[in-house]
């Protein structure tokens, strides 16, 4: 009798969980689908509220405008540059720093760990940080890549994962004559794929969506990332809409939606592959943990 009640409760719980997750997924997916549909719909269909889920009166003029906009593609390349090189640099600093902080033989190890954690609790504030970046001449591509290379939280995450690796494995490797670089590259990193995948996603997402500091610090318009260029483009386009919105052959918001769609295309293409690798890394980390 108790077993039947348990099975019934389990079935009800699973049904409720699946229903909740399905509704949540649809709610998260709908804005993306609506943005794509709105960017492809005709002016009359969009302004009369006929666009709900699928495009109405297909119109690709806004995409032609974006395709012919050289500034848009330059900012796209800049964002790819910041994402690829920035994530690579951030992972290098975070992995090597986290590995060093796990070693008891590191001088002032406790003090250095406290210093890293302290930066998570307190910071100087935006104005002092801005003045510091200006004095360091962080006003170009490589400045943005290097200056924003690390986050204390990610170092702590990697440090904790490295610390969980059994010490016997390290001792056996040292007996075999493995040096520190080999220890990190051939033993610690392969055994920490879950943590590495997670931190890589954190850094890549932050770099791809970078806006605030890039807009404040970068002085060359040819070095602006996509997010900053999109904001400037929308601001300038809004002024044009106010002057001649009724004369445009497409809905005013369609251009904004088209820009947003173009900005997430690489993410939509790459994410399934990253998710597969990330899930695999989590499973391996769970087994070895």
| pLDDT tens per residue across span 155-167 | 888 888 888 888 8
* Predicted local distance difference test score (pLDDT) of residue 281: 47
The two tokens of residue 172 are: 């056996």
Please work out, in degrees rounded to the nearest 5, the angle formed at the alpha carbon of residue 122 by the alpha carbons of 118 and 124: 125
> pTM of the entire structure?
0.80
Q: Which residues contact 42 (CB under 8 A, 6 or more apart)?
A: 56, 57, 58, 59, 250, 251
- Tell me: the pLDDT tens digits for 187-239? 888 888 878 888 888 898 889 888 899 999 998 889 999 889 888 877 777 67
Average pLDDT across the chain, whole number: 82
Residue 276 pLDDT class (50, 70, 90 cuts)? low
**pLDDT for the residue numbered 160:** 85
Mutual angle of helices 252-288 and 2-40, in 10-degree steps: 140
Q: What is the CATH number of domain 70-288?
A: 1.10.3720.10
> Angle at Cα 24 formed by Cα 198 and Cα 281, nearest 5°?
20
How far is C-alpha 77 from the geometric centre of its chain's CA atoms? Answer: 16
Q: How far apart are CA 88 and CA 158, in angstroms?
A: 15
| Alpha helices, DSSP H, located in the chain | 2-40, 43-47, 61-67, 70-101, 109-121, 126-135, 141-147, 152-163, 167-175, 180-183, 193-208, 212-217, 226-244, 252-288
- Looking at residue 241, its pLDDT comes to 66
Q: Which residue has the tokens 């924003």?
A: 148
Furthest-apart CA pair in the chain: how many Å? 77
Length reported for the chain: 289
The span from the CA of 44 to the CA of 277, in Å, is 44
CB atoms within 10 A of CB 202: 17
Cα atoms in the Cβ-side hemisphere of radius 13 Å centred on 119: 13
8 A C-beta contact, residue 14 and residue 22: no
Domain ranges of the chain: 2-47, 70-288
Assess contact for 164 and 194: CB atoms under 8 A: no
Distance separating alpha carbons of residues 138 and 136, to the nearest angstrom:
6
User: What tens digit of pLDDT does each residue of 123-167 get?
Assistant: 788 888 899 898 988 889 999 999 988 888 888 888 888 888 888
Residues 6+ away with beta carbon under 8 Å from 95: 158, 184, 189, 196
Name which of 5, 144, 157 is nearest 95 in CA terms: 157
In angstroms, the CA 61 to CA 68 distance is: 11
């Amino acid at each position: 009798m108790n077993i039947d009640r348990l099975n019934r409760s389990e079935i009800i719980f699973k049904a409720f969980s699946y229903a909740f997750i399905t509704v949540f997924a649809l709610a998260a997916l709908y804005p993306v689908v609506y943005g794509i549909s709105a960017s492809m719909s005709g002016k009359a269909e969009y302004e009369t509220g006929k666009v709900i889920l699928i495009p109405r009166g297909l119109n690709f003029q806004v995409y032609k405008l974006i395709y012919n906009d050289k500034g848009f593609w330059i900012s796209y390349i800049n964002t790819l540059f910041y994402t690829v090189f920035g994530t690579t640099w951030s992972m290098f600093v975070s992995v090597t720093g986290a590995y060093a902080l796990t070693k008891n033989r590191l001088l002032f190890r406790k003090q250095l760990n406290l210093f890293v954690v302290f930066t998570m609790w307190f910071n100087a504030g935006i104005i002092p940080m801005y003045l510091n970046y200006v004095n360091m001449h962080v006003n170009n591509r490589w400045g943005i890549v290097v200056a924003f290379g690390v986050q204390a939280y990610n170092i702590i995450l990697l440090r904790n994962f490295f610390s969980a690796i059994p010490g016997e494995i390290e001792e056996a490797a040292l007996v075999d004559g493995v040096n520190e670089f080999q220890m990190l590259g051939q033993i610690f990193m392969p055994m920490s794929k879950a943590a590495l995948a997670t931190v890589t996603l954190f850094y890549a997402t932050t770099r791809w969506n970078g806006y605030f500091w890039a807009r404040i610090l970068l002085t060359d318009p040819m070095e602006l990332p996509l997010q900053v260029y999109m904001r400037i483009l929308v601001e300038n386009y809004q002024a044009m809409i106010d002057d001649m919105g009724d004369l445009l052959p497409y809905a005013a918001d369609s251009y904004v939606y088209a820009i947003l769609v173009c900005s997430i295309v690489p993410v939509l293409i790459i994410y399934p592959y990253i998710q597969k690798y990330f899930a695999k890394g989590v499973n391996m980390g769970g087994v070895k943990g």
